[in-house]
């Protein structure tokens, strides 16, 4: 395997007494798409959120083990959460633009990180929207509210918003589950295109999607990572019986 971008070492996470992640050790390769699959409640979202420290916002969460970004401990004392979240962006399940204009949605992140120059912001907005393959659709209505866009457009806008702060990693939690098939396809194409520049981790319930977009796949079950392999191998020759049952649709 090539250079790992993110790795975890015996990551354990508890919601109060509930043991939600059990000894997760994984190496996520740079410039690849890694899919996280598994039945509902197995800890996929929890794992994803532990990679940009979003779990800290939940009361009663306790964590053990390590998460490294480029070899640096992200829970270490030297890591600044703001910087971390700039480097590790996130896209959520529900498309959720901010209640402001399309332009301001994209400019929000850069502004938070101190970009004030109007020309620079214009440039970032255009670049991000182009990267997210939505520029043509919105270039004439940048000052209009983002709430008027369609669901699929909103989600690509949210991807653009995440890209605007120039992250290195993009975490996506079921980014297409609220979208229609056409929009889903557009987002999938986008993901495939983005991986040359970014490392992407995507949670999905859709086996075909995992097979289509990802290079590696991790199968989670009840807080454990049962199997982690290249997508090609995991879907065709799973090592674990439970993986095989899941990917062939026998349960979950």
Partner 1 sequence: MVRYRTDTRTRTVEKAARIIFSLCAFTAVAAVFSITIYMIANGVPAVLQAGWKEILFSSVWQPAAQEPSFGILYVILTSVVGTFLAVLLGVPIGLFTAVFLAEAAPGWLAAVIRPAVELLAGIPSVIYGVLGMMILNPFMYRLEQRIFADSWTHQFTGGANLLSAVIVLAVMILPTVISISEAALRAVPPELKASSLALGASPVETIFQVTIPAARSGILAAVVLGVGRAVGEAMAISLVSGNAVNLPLPFCSVRFLTTAIVSEMGYAGGLHRQVLFTIGLVLFVFIMMINGILSSILKGEKRQ
53 phi, psi to nearest 5 deg: 60, 30
Which of ligand ATP, Mg ion, partner 1, none sits in contact with 94, Cβ below 5 to 8 A by type?
A: partner 1
By CB under 8 A, residue 46 contacts partner 1: no
> Does the protein bind partner 1 through residue 182 (CB under 8 A)?
no
- Do 17 and 181 form a contact (C-beta atoms < 8 A)? no
Strand partners, 8: 26, 67
CB under 5 A: which stretch of 40-48, 125-133, 148-156, 184-192 binds Mg ion? 40-48
By CB under 8 A, is residue 90 in contact with partner 1?
yes
Binding mask 45-64 for Mg ion (x = CB under 5 A): x-------------------
Query: Would you count residue 40 as binding ligand ATP (CB under 6 A)?
Result: yes
Q: Is 60 left (phi over 0), alpha (psi -120 to 50) or beta?
A: left
Tell which one of 5, 6, 11, 43 touches ligand ATP (CB under 6 A): 43
Determine if 169 is a binding residue for partner 1 (CB under 8 A): no
Asked if 96 touches partner 1 (CB under 8 A), the answer is: yes
Comparing CB distances to partner 1, the nearer of 100 and 236 is: 100
Q: Which does 75 bind (CB under 5 to 8 A by kind): ligand ATP, partner 1, Mg ion, none?
A: none
The smaller minimum CB distance to Mg ion, of residues 36 and 121, is found at 36
Nearest approach in angstroms of CB 18 to ligand ATP is: 5
Q: Which of 11, 28, 35, 109 binds partner 1 (CB under 8 A)?
A: 109
Residue with tokens 């799973």: 238
Crossing angle for the helix pair 102-112 and 118-131, to the nearest 10 degrees: 110
Vertex 36 angle, CA 33 and 42, to 5°:
170
Query: Which residue in the set 18, 62, 233, 241 belongs to the binding site for ligand ATP (CB under 6 A)?
Result: 18
18/83 with CB nearer ligand ATP: 18
- Output 129 or 221, the one with its CB closest to partner 1: 129
Binding residues for Mg ion, rule: CB under 5 A, are 45
Point out which residues bind ligand ATP (CB under 6 A).
15, 18, 20, 38, 40-46, 58
């Amino acid at each position: 395997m090539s250079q790992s971008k993110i790795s975890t070492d015996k990551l354990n996470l508890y919601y109060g007494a509930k043991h939600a992640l059990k000894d997760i050790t994984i190496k996520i390769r740079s410039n690849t798409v890694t899919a996280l699959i598994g039945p509902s409640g197995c800890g996929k979202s929890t794992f994803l959120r532990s990679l940009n420290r979003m779990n800290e916002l939940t009361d009663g969460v306790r964590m053990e083990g390590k998460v490294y970004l480029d070899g640096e401990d992200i829970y270490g004392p030297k890591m600044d959460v703001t910087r971390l979240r700039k480097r590790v962006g996130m896209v959520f399940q529900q498309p959720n633009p901010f209640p402001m204009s399309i332009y301001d949605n994209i400019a929000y992140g850069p502004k938070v990180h101190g970009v004030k120059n109007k020309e620079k912001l214009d440039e970032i907005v255009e670049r991000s929207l182009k990267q997210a393959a939505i520029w043509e659709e919105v270039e004439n209505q940048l000052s209009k509210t983002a709430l008027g866009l369609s669901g699929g457009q909103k989600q690509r806008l949210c991807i653009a918003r995440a890209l605007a702060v120039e992250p290195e990693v993009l975490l996506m939690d079921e980014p297409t589950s609220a979208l229609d098939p056409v929009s889903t396809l557009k987002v999938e194409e986008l993901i495939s295109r983005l991986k040359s520049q970014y490392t992407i981790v995507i949670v999905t319930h859709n086996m075909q999607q995992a097979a289509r977009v990802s290079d590696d796949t991790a199968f989670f079950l009840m807080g454990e990572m049962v199997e982690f392999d290249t997508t090609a191998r995991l879907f065709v020759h799973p090592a674990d019986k439970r993986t095989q049952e899941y990917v062939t649709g026998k349960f979950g």
